[in-house]
Structure 1
Amino acid sequence: MGGRGAGAAANRRCPDSSPVLTDLHRPGGGARPHAMPWSFRWVGGCGAQSQKQCKKSSFAFYQAVRDLLPVWFLEDMRTMEAFHWEDGGKVSVYSPSEALLYALVHDHQPYARHLLTKFPQSALAVPSQSFSCCQSAPHLAMAVRYNRVRVLFRILKAIQALPPGDRAAHLDRQGCSRVEGGKTALHMACELVRPECLLLLLGHGASPCLQDSAGNTPLDTLLQQISHLPAANMRAKFLCLDCLFFFVPQDLKFAMKQQLLDNRQQWQDLLGENRFQCLVGLVPPSLFVGAMRVLIRTISPEHFPEALDNLPLPHFLKPLDLKLES
């Protein structure tokens, strides 16, 4: 019981008038995808002891998730009222959505699993403005950014249980045009070269055809990464490209197509002749790619990626080995 008492003490209300906690460090300026109380100062009247207690309460939950404390302890802390500097010292609790963002950042998988199981809708709801500059839920993008493949898998399973309209809104959510360039989670998987994240998103229905604020599809974003010099991580980049081949429509219009044609020899050297010709439409997809497109379309999102094991293909031809815990 000592742990529960400590949790309650860490979140006890300040007895005097509400102070204001002012965040001093916002790297890069402006709003951020999640609030982190790196440093703050006090404004307003509160005794020295109360100031210390409120300062502790505003940071305690973040620290507890970071330290991978037990789920029951975190839920006790989350539902206790605490002062939040970003809301001008208001007393409130952390929502399941905000708690899930902390769990994503620190890869607290048991806590993420608990939140998505017990609060499947509210855990994926829009967090407060201090956590996200746009009024949309950034959980998928955050999972990709931090490469939390297992938590991403659980988020995608929770999204499949939502109504179709809500499902699409989560899968194809575009980030803030000012901060994130209007990128979807799929764009980010290509930009950061995350093949596991990419395949999970595609298999659960994320659209490979959407454009970001600059007019780039996820394919354009990936091609830009492939063209970066010096060449690095090319195996993972080609794995991403091959995965995209299985899901993009044959007539996809992408911004870099003309650049590929104008610099044919350079891109043929980078991609190989077969990939290049297929990309620019000079030859139809290979029989293998065509067959994989048909086979993958037979897998419903509810059974992805588990059903990959049941494809009538030898193991070495399957796109990725994603043996994730159910």
Structure 2
Amino acid sequence: MPWDVGVFDSRADYKSEKQCQKTSFAFYQAVRDLLPVWVLEDMRTMEVFHWEEDGRACAYSPSEALLYALVHDHQPYARYLLNTYSVSALEMPSKSFCCCQLSTTPHLSMAVRYNRSSILKMILNSAKDFSEEERLSYLNRRGCVHVEGGKTALHLACDLVRPECLILLLGHSACPYVTDRTGNTPLDCLLSQIGHSDLDMRLKHICLGYLILFMPNFRFQMKGQLRDNAALWQRLIGEQAYRWLSGQAPPSLFVQAMQKLIETVSAEQLESLPLPDFLRPLDFRLHSVSQVCSGLML
């Protein structure tokens, strides 16, 4: 909200653009340096302002402060903001923070982009305070067209190969069939990454396994490409996954049973589920998702 800076008549420059830039940078540094929550809140509510293009000096909203907490992984501050302000901390920030006001999920996108899985879990838990319809709309909404290309958080998790973020989003009911502006599903994005480079292939296969478990029906644009280049894709994703995704064979009964079971459990219960052998590289276990997925052995 804009601050009525008229009360500072004796300090006329307090609302100037230059002074706002100074205090804004000081707040940014304070979050970056992981100062205590009470210090940051004193600064946010009483001392610092940012400058809007229409010539207003504005106090930082909880939503804008949460963006800083995400950038610098200040988990205690993110927890405080979300616990105190709930979904108000997820409101759209001002134009000076996000150029695309049609995108209303900058926090989700930033959590995935910076791989802040712990704060992402906090955000997803706070989103439960939305109505169910609002929550699902929030999870599946397309992001900023300028920065994210109109992709959802789930698309970004696949594009950037973020398995911890991906399982959190899927576990909280993000839709794996939602498409971006070009008609691609998250699976299309992941397959494009797999076909583009061998880098991080182990993590890409883990992401692929997660998508398979949450997609009872394999609807995606690249299915024709898989069929036309069978040898290549069998090498890239393995013969078993290739047969499933190309439609040559249904998933095993065990995987189908897992898909049905996943539909009935909460995100917090995912860690207790056994996973099929094809998802179990010997040397990988997910860590640091605030224990949500600590029991998932891939």
Task: Give the TM-score normalised by the residue count of structure 2.
Answer: 0.85
Within the alignment, does 1:237 sit opposite 2:233 as a pair?
A: no
Question: Aligned letter for 1:260?
Answer: L
1:15 to 11, 18, 27: 11
1:166-315 paired onto structure 2 within 5 Å: 166-229=134-197, 231-250=198-217, 252-300=218-266, 304=267, 306-311=268-273
The answer (yes or no) to whether the contact 1:193–1:240 under 8 Å persists in 2 is: yes
Contact 2:105 2:143 in 1 (8 A): no
> Which ranges of structure 1 fall in alignment gaps of 5 or more residues?
1-11, 22-41, 43-52
Query: In the alignment, is residue 131 of structure 1 matched against residue 93 of structure 2?
Result: no
Deviation at 1:88?
4.9
Contact 2:159 2:190 in 1 (8 A): yes
CA gap of 1:220–1:315, structure 2 versus 1, over 3 A, is closer
Distance 2:10 2:157 in 1: 43
Deviations 1:224-253 (A, max 9, x none): 000113x11111000000000011132x32
Contact 2:154 2:176 in 1 (8 A): yes
Q: Name the residue aligned to 1:73.
A: 39
C-alpha distance in 1 between matches for 2:238 and 2:64? 45
The residue type equivalent to 2:190 in the other structure is L
**Structure number with larger C-alpha Rg:** 1
C-alpha separation in 1, matches of 2:223 and 2:9: 59
1 or 2, which has the higher helix percentage? 2
Q: Cα distance, 1:279 vs. partner?
A: 0.2
Structure 2 CA distance for aligned equivalents of residues 325 and 149 of structure 1: 11
Deviation track 1:202-236 (CA, whole Å, cap 9, x = no partner) reads 0100010111111110000000000113x111110
Percentage identity across paired residues of the two chains: 57
**What is the CA distance between 1:296 and its match in structure 2?**
1.3
The answer on whether the counterparts of 1:181 and 1:214 sit within 8 Å (CA) in structure 2 is no
Q: Using the alignment, how far apart are the partners of 1:86 and 1:271 within structure 2?
A: 49
Equivalent pairs, count: 279
**One-letter code aligned to 1:165:** E
Counterparts of 2:10 and 2:251, CA distance in 1: 66
Give 3-state SS (helix, strand or coil) of 1:80's partner: helix
C-alpha deviation, 1:325, in angstroms: 5.5
- Kept in 2: contact 1:172–1:184 (CA 8 A): yes
Residues 137 and 271 of structure 1, relative CA distance in 2, 3 Å threshold: closer
- 1:94 corresponds to: 60
Residues 148-163 of structure 1 mapped to structure 2, 5 A cutoff: 148-163=116-131
CA distance in structure 2 between the aligned counterparts of 1:189 and 1:164, rounded to whole angstroms: 23
Question: Any conservation in 2 of the 1:13–1:81 contact (CA below 8 Å)?
Answer: no
**Cα-to-partner distance string for 1:134-179 (whole Å, 9 max, x where unaligned):** 2213111110000001100111111122111220122112013343
Q: Within 1, Cα distance between the matches of 2:42 and 2:110?
A: 25
Find the aligned partners of 2:10 and 2:196 in 1 and give their Cα distance. 53
One-letter identity of the residue aligned with 1:308: L
TM-aligned CA deviation for residue 133 of structure 1? 2.1
Name the CA shift for 1:14/1:193 in 2 (closer, same or farther; >3 Å).
Answer: farther
- Cα RMSD for the two superposed structures: 2.5
Tell me the SS of whatever aligns to 1:16: helix
Distance 1:187 1:89 in 2: 36
Q: C-alpha distance in 2, partners of 1:312/1:241?
A: 17
CA distance in 2, matches of 1:200, 1:144: 10
Question: What is the one-letter code of the residue matched to 2:36?
Answer: P
Q: 1:272 to 1:87 in 2, by over 3 A?
A: same
Amino acid aligned to 1:196: E
